[in-house]
Amino acid sequence: MSRIGGAQPVPQGDYVAARRHGGLIYTAGMTPRQDGRMMYHGPVRTGEVEAQREAVILACANALRAAEATLSGQEEIAAILTLTVYVAAEAGFTEHSRVADFASAFLRERLGARGICSRCAVGVASLPGNAPVEIQLVAAV
């Protein structure tokens, strides 16, 4: 089992961090917060993709922690089914997939083949709390 440690993400509004229905887990959008505090800020700028690595990893780790918190006993995530990475990018930014690659690599590193999934990278004008990225995933138990 490869559950990751650390504090559970705290919802910043009237919602839950993750919801399980049967064998599926849906997470809320997770930003790069630690102990409720935004650790990185947007927007993502052209030529600064590598500078977003830690922000993406933190947001993805928060999503994975939220999903794992719905597991009981010896259950584990069988597969990440899909990953959506929202990127708060400056106008003209075109490297959304490169930003999302950090999340894909994190999931593959943590879960092996179970972490390889379909993915969507979406550019947006802004995100809650001025986050540079927001990550949402769907997992199977």
Q: What is the mean pLDDT of each run of 10 residues along the chain (141 residues)?
A: 66 88 97 94 95 97 96 95 98 97 98 97 97 98 97
DSSP string computed for 20-83: EETTEEEEPPB-SEETTEE-----B-TT-SGGGHHHHHHHHHHHHHHHHTT--TT----EEEEE
- Domain boundaries, given as residue ranges, for the chain: 18-140
Distance CA 71, CA 8 (A): 13
Residue for token digits 């999903």?
Answer: 67
Give domain 18-140's CATH number out of 1.20.1260.10, 3.30.1330.40, 3.30.300.90, 1.25.60.10.
Answer: 3.30.1330.40
So what's the pLDDT on residue 1?
45
CA distance 133 to 122: 10
Within 10 A of 14 (CB to CB), how many other CB atoms are there?
5
What tokens were used for 41? 């800020």
Q: What pLDDT, on a 0 to 100 scale, did the predictor assign at position 8?
A: 76
Whole-prediction pTM: 0.93
Write down the pLDDT at residue 2. Answer: 56
